[in-house]
Amino acid sequence: MTTSSDGRLPLTHVREDGSSHMVDVGEKPVTARRARAEATVITRPDVVASVFDGSLPKGEAIGTARIAGIMAAKQTSSLIPLCHPLALTNVDVELVAAADRVLISASTATTAQTGVEMEALTAASVAALTLYDMIKAVDREAVITGIRVVEKSGGRSGDWSRNATTQDDGR
């Protein structure tokens, strides 16, 4: 493990020679771990209504986006090079209507030696991408935003949740 260029943070995925590698988690204890991430698709209010009443030209978007998010969470280690494959015990993706947007929340759980934040982020992101694909024919200006981890539990670093006053840009 090396330190960052500013000397403060340990770089767990970087070898002494600067090359990337997958961290060995074999000595870490197996613990119950959970994470929740979110994403937002901003569109017009009439499009949000169509999403939730099932009248989009491409069909029923809510179930399609939910299943896409679940499938994506299960494939995270195939998509993100340094992620460990995890046996997920739960993936839940929810889509909620707001005035001009759809709020997506993805929760993941496992009992493992490493966390499930990346799986939650992947689920939320792919659900948002799927929803975008389903609405692009009626709103080419739709925007995906706010992809971020909002809470996690388990593991050495313990529980964490995003402060309710955190800015929309995640800082």
Query: Residue 42 is part of a domain; what is its CATH number?
Result: 3.30.70.640
Query: Is 49 contained in some domain?
Result: yes
SS3 94: strand
What is the reported pTM? Answer: 0.85
Taking only the tens place, the pLDDT of each residue in 22-65 is 776 767 788 999 999 999 999 999 999 999 999 999 999 999 99
What domain range includes position 38? 28-161
Query: Is 12 contained in some domain?
Result: no
Of the residues 100, 133, 159, 169, which is catalytic?
133
Taking only the tens place, the pLDDT of each residue in 2-13 is 444 556 566 566
Number of domains in the chain: 1
Query: Is 120 contained in some domain?
Result: yes
Taking only the tens place, the pLDDT of each residue in 103-137 is 999 999 999 988 899 999 999 999 999 999 999 99
Query: Is 112 contained in some domain?
Result: yes
Query: Is 85 contained in some domain?
Result: yes
What is the reported pLDDT for 62?
98
Written as one letter, the residue type at 167 is Q
Query: Is 166 contained in some domain?
Result: no
Query: Is 149 contained in some domain?
Result: yes
6 catalytic? Reply is: no
- Nearest 5 degrees, angle CA 74-CA 78-CA 81? 130
Query: Is 1 contained in some domain?
Result: no
Exposure b/e, 81-102, CB count within 10 A at least 16 = b:
eebbebebeebbbebeeeeebb
